Amino acid sequence: MSPMFVPGPMDVDPEVMDAQTIPMLPHRSKEFETIFHRAEGKARPLFGTQNRVFISASSGTGLQEAAVRNFAQSSVLACVNGAFSERWLEVAKSNGKSIDTVEAEWGQPIRPEDVAAALRQKPYEVLTIVHNETSTGLQNPVDAIAAAARGVSPDTLICVDAVSSLGGAPIEMDAWGLDFVLTSSQKALALPPGLALGATSDRALERAASVENRGWYFDLVRLEKHRLKNSTPATPATSLINALDLQLDRILAEGLENRFARYQSMATRVHEWALSHGFGLFAAEGYRSRTVSTVENLPDIDVAALNAFLLERGMRIANGYGTLKNKTFRIAHMGELTLADVNTLLAAIEEFMGK
Ligand code: PLP
């Protein structure tokens, strides 16, 4: 198997892949409802919540849409400092919401005081923030931002995209006062793409009940009614949920603290290596991601040629995202990857550079 150092989809453990091939069960059967219930319960500790976790047959972007449709009749304050927070802004706009932004330069964190200042001007219904910007390799200080937001505007619902961090970095939804936290299956959870998980607070669900035009597929009020019966309104992705059920066992057996430490050791190794080999790191110091590093290509190596070289050795990294293409490249260190895998990759990059 060739280890993928691209930030999703990550490699999937063979046993977890196999879990998708067990025979189909009707989704409205006791047997499947038991699996659904079990998986939902096991997902909660990853979010740091006692609340419900919706399991959606969609990718994470579907739940970005769910957040703005369910929680805001009109006003959204979007924190924007990378490609995926820009996407969430576009999702909100395309759903007809009225939006203002708190921005930071790409590679710089959103500042809690800027969020507080914007909320002092207007008590927006929803605040959107991306925890881990996969484009820039930056982790926003969501706990401090949430505290600042709650201090100024306690009724604003705080919605967090943790697509590339959940299961890879600590997230304490209940302790930090978050209302909605969404993730995708194909990143730190190391599952195939196709599932999104969204943990939701009680007060967010209460708010949703009063918002008009929530749509149908991502209507969280409807999803909750079914979740209480361990089910979904439409057909769930049953094979992926079988894989999720097993993968959550594996993640909890590793232990979340051990998993976070494994990711941190890989992140630290990549950061130190980059800085000692003439590269830079795109994200500001103190805010660098545990799950993906965006390396500044200061020596101007040919990223496509590097990837071709790596592919011959059964590995693959990601070029920079959008306008950062070739100016940066990205090395993911999440999922099933280990420090030994990272060392093999870095040795191969050095070999390429020495050629
Ligand atoms: N948010 C972040 C931070 C991401 O990294 C991605 C995908 O890479 C998305 C949202 C979109 O997720 P999906 O492709 O699962 O819809």
Q: What are the domain boundaries of the chain?
A: 14-252, 256-354
Model pTM score: 0.98
The answer, yes or no, to whether any atom of ligand 1 lies below 6 A from the CB of 184, is yes
**b/e string for 175-209 if b means 16 or more Cβ within 10 A?**
ebebbbbbbbbbbbbbbbbbbbbbbbbeebbebbe
d(CA 198, ligand 1 centre) in Å = 13
CATH of domain 14-252: 3.40.640.10
Strands of the sheet containing 292-296, edge to edge, are 280-281, 292-296, 328-332, 318-319
Residue 289 DSSP label: -
From the CB of 8, is ligand 1 less than 6 Å away?
Answer: yes
> 100: part of which helix (H) or strand (E)?
strand 98-103
> CATH for 256-354?
3.90.1150.10
Q: How remote is the CA of residue 352 from the centroid of ligand 1, in Å?
A: 30
Q: Which of 68, 134, 166 to mutate to test the pocket of ligand 1 (most atoms within 8 A of CB)?
A: 134
- Are the folds of 14-252 and 256-354 the same? no
For residue 193, give the ligand 1 atom closest to its CA.
Answer: 15
Q: State whether the beta carbon of 59 lies less than 6 angstroms from ligand 1.
A: yes
Å from CA of 84 to ligand 1 middle: 7
Q: Residue 61 has what pLDDT?
A: 98
167 lines ligand 1 (CB under 6 A): no
Distance, C-alpha 350 to centroid of its chain:
30
CB 163 near ligand 1, within 6 Å: yes
Q: What is the pLDDT of residue 2?
A: 61
Please tell me the predicted confidence (pLDDT) of residue 3. Answer: 75
How far is residue 320's CA from residue 307's CA, in Å, rounded to a whole number? 12
Q: How far is the CA of 100 from the centre of ligand 1 (A)?
A: 21
| Residue 314 φ/ψ region, left for φ over 0, alpha for ψ in the -120 to 50 degree band, beta for the rest | left
Q: Where are the beta strands (DSSP E) in 170-222?
A: 180-184, 196-200
Ligand 1 centroid–CA 187 distance in Å is 9
Instruction: Please write the tens of the pLDDT for every residue from 194-246.
Output: 999 999 999 999 999 999 999 999 999 999 999 999 999 999 999 999 999 99
Residues with Cβ within 8 Å of 29's Cβ and at least 6 positions away in sequence, in order, are none
Bridge partners, residue 103, by sequence: 80
Give the residue ranges of the chain where pLDDT is below 70.
1-2
Report d(CA 323, CA 186) in Å as an integer. 24
What lies within 8 Å, CB to CB, of 91 at 6+ separation is: 61, 64, 65, 68
